[in-house]
Amino acid sequence: MRKEISAVNFVREAIHIITEEGLPALSVRRLGREMHCNSASVYYYFNDLDELIAYASIKYFNQYVAEVSRCYKAAPDVLTGYRRAWNSFIELSFETPLIYERLLFGKYRDRLGEIIRGYNRMFPEKVEELDPDIVKTVTAPGFSGYYDHLVLSHCVDAGMFAKEDGWIIGRTLNSLYGYFLRDRINCGEDKEKIAMLKKEFFVCLDRTLEVYRVK
């Protein structure tokens, strides 16, 4: 049965394919077959497959956005909340590393805020489940997942780190995260190696925070 051709339905179908079979199974030709339409129809709504993947990936990124709010509400202090937020981020992104690698370090990473806004307009019912302050942050113009705006600012505001050091901490940890994410992709489903990568990342994170923390 032919489905209505729309940006929303292309995103829905992309999410379905990724969830059921993984990112490598997604292609423009596959979308055309599943939607019972000419595969070229994708390009009426999206610049290319990478842009469509970015929109579909927001489903996974919003899981992290939801976790951030829970981390801070349950934490005894902002630094613990920050570390817990990173822990949630590592756990979620290591489950679907190809998705996060394309979203945060791929072709459309500098348009992340715009793409999140677009996704939230397509699926407004999903936004209701998220903290409005965090949604405002991640949909701000110029927001990029490469920068640690979402969680580090709380620690700076609390006086844990100097404002000028916050930028350095964010860039350092996000650069490190990129390397660890690629290592996660390369190690496949080796559980022992994945566990070791998680442990090593937090050694780096804790050491970085120790160096820059206001004494």
Rounded average pLDDT per 10-residue block, the chain, 215 residues: 86 96 95 93 96 96 85 85 91 95 92 91 85 77 62 86 90 93 96 98 96 92
Q: Looking at residue 150, what is its pLDDT? A: 64
pLDDT of residue 148: 58
pLDDT at 133 (0 to 100): 77
Q: Return the pLDDT at 145.
A: 60
Q: Are the C-beta atoms of 54 and 103 separated by less than 8 Å?
A: yes
pLDDT at 149: 58
Token digits of residue 13: 């179908």
CA angle 105, 111, 114 (to 5 degrees): 140
Looking at residue 125, its pLDDT comes to 86
Category of 130 on φ-ψ map: left (φ > 0), alpha (ψ -120 to 50) or beta:
beta
Coil, strand or helix: which one is 143? Answer: coil
For residue 34, the model assigns a pLDDT of 94
Rounded-to-integer distance, Cα 113 and Cα 135, Å: 10
What is the reported pLDDT for 193? 97
| Nearest-angstrom CA–CA distance, 62 and 146 | 16
